[in-house]
Amino acid sequence: MNKHRMKKTAVLLLFCCCFATDFRAQQVLKLPEVDAIGYDIGGVGLYAYTRIGNDLYIKRNVDIGSDDAGVDKGSYMRRIKWNVSESADTVTGTEIRAAQKGVIDALDLRPATLSDYVGHTFDINDNNTWRRIHEHSSLVLKFLSRNIVAVQELYHGCKEGYADYRTSMTIIPDSVVMWRVANSHYLLPTIIEMKGGKRMFVFRANGRSYMLIPTEKGDRLVRFGWIRMPAYLTLAGRKYDDTAPDDFCFFQMKEFYGVHRTAGKCRLIDAFDNNVLGKDYDTITYDRGFFIAKAGQAVDVFNLYLKKLNLGTVKEAREITRCVIGCIEVLNKTGPAYYDELGKRVSNPIKQPLYLCGTVPHWTFTILKKHGKYLLQKYTGGPGVREDKEEYFALSGCLPSDSVAFTDGRKETSYDGNSSFLDDINVSPQWIKVQRNGKSGIIGYQYDQPNNAKPKTVVCRDHGWERKKRVYPIANITGETLLPIDNDSIYFGSDGLTYFFKHGKIGLFPRHKEPRYTAIKQQTESFYHIIKDGKAGWLDIKTYREYF
């Protein structure tokens, strides 16, 4: 008896030593002494069992947790962390079976690696017991890469309305009947390696967990948290190839990737701390569908498959967000152009439709001339404010003989709380264009009330409704000459830029004080063709960097 206890104690000590390893940021949890893995039916718990005798096992709890990944603030990815309990219990096989837990014995597993699955799609044969959006749909498991898998619900038919908010990789007509993605959950694939190098796979993210069990009789998929029988997987082949453009249509890249900076360099890492782009860069930016990595003058662009796109010698790249088709704007040696997520050139980005909030404030600015003086009336109203405001500002610096307007030449302009969300092109009401003696300039004003302002409150009645309005007395404000009144003309373009012209040259306000181009023409959203000092080149309007 004492000899048996000593042997049992020795095995326990050996087992503890096996787990005296830091398991942070590891995709593979190696448990070479473990004979079987158990799991709760309807739960999320995992248990490691090591056989120490006839029908006798050591049991430990295994959990996949997370900790801070040390990445950029824009990312909300967390680093994977395996937790294996320090304490161990001894249980019998009879007790394990009585506890209503599923058990996977390493002897029942066939040899399998993650690479065997990557790039393949599998039907999830669940006998229609798993929850679905559509009555007659297919559930599939897609291995998109070594670090991303997806469980998707697919339906066969035309495009449905809610698909307007997704970003695809290519345009497919709405009326085409084909396999389409109704829903998609993206998961991190982790691996548990047991005795004999046998492996099983756990997929987890955002509160969802699955386990793939590659047995000799076929692959089984368990969904944690569901009291359901496991589903069986069968290789789908090319059946669902039509859905490839929507592989990442619901993907949130900042949940699965982040930029880690060290020693002045940065790298893109995943939840397993892998340097997924394979090298360090000076900067890495990412938003919805592209990774833009810069090292010196070199610019590399990767899509969500982590494939480097062949875009020529890239000088600058910028993602266009909120598009129906993932789109990036690229300036290379041949000039600027738009490209999709597969690196194919496209004519123009197609923006997703937006549905707006109706309870936002509205602002209207009007230039008035009373008693020979110019005034600015600012009216704040709309359902987004509790009471309307009517303010008046005397525009010093504007002479009675001047022609005064906003930069677009109009006397009135307005916008609302949705304008910035919509990327509307609006003039800046703080900039007043003044024409004097045949020349033009811009005076800037700040429409702020003095601290001692005393508005009066009036009640406005409209079709039986009453609404309060605060009316302010005229406030005198001093303007600042931002652009001298010596230019030939000032023009507000359809691109939202303010151009000024003098002596046959063109400048951009407020960036320039003097004109510098003999020609400038927009080619893409950010890039303009320019001629400066006789040389043709390109201007990045977002940074004002020039390329020749």
pTM of the model: 0.87
Q: Per residue, what are the HEC states of 309-326?
A: CCCCCEEEEEEECCECEC
Tell me which residue of 325, 310, 270, 276 sits closest to 75, measured CA to CA.
Answer: 270
In this predicted structure, what is the pLDDT of residue 133? 87
Contact between 375 and 395 under an 8 Å Cβ cutoff? The reply is yes
For 459, counting Cβ atoms within 10 Å of its Cβ (0-12 exposed, 13-18 middle, 19+ buried), the class is exposed
Tokens describing residue 116: 């065997």
d(CA 441, CA 431): 10
Q: List the beta strands (DSSP E) in 162-313.
A: 178-193, 199-205, 208-215, 218-223, 231-235, 258-262, 265-269, 283-286, 291-295, 298-302
In the chain, domain spans: 2-107, 253-346, 362-516
Q: pLDDT tens, position by position, for the chain (548 residues)?
A: 444 444 444 444 444 444 444 455 689 999 999 999 998 866 668 999 999 999 899 999 998 889 999 999 999 999 999 999 988 889 998 888 887 678 999 999 999 999 999 999 999 999 988 888 888 899 999 999 999 999 999 999 998 765 556 788 888 888 899 999 999 999 999 999 999 999 999 999 988 999 999 999 999 999 988 767 789 999 999 999 999 999 999 999 999 999 999 999 999 999 999 999 999 999 999 999 999 999 999 999 999 999 999 999 999 999 998 888 899 999 999 999 999 999 999 999 988 877 777 789 999 999 999 999 999 999 999 888 989 999 999 999 999 999 999 999 999 999 998 887 777 788 999 999 999 999 999 999 999 999 999 999 998 887 778 888 999 999 999 999 999 999 999 999 999 999 999 999 999 999 999 999 999 999 999 999 999 999 999 999 999 999 99
d(CA 74, CA 286): 9
Rounded to 5°, angle at Cα 423 from 418 and 424 = 75
CB environment 298-336: b (16+ within 10 A), e (fewer): ebbbbbbebeebebeebbbbbbbebbbbbbbbbbbeeeb
What's the full length of the chain, in residues?
Answer: 548
Q: What contacts 24+ positions apart, CB below 8 Å, involve 520-524?
A: 522/495, 523/335, 523/336, 524/329, 524/336, 524/337, 524/338
Tokens describing residue 193: 């390696």
In this predicted structure, what is the pLDDT of residue 97? 82
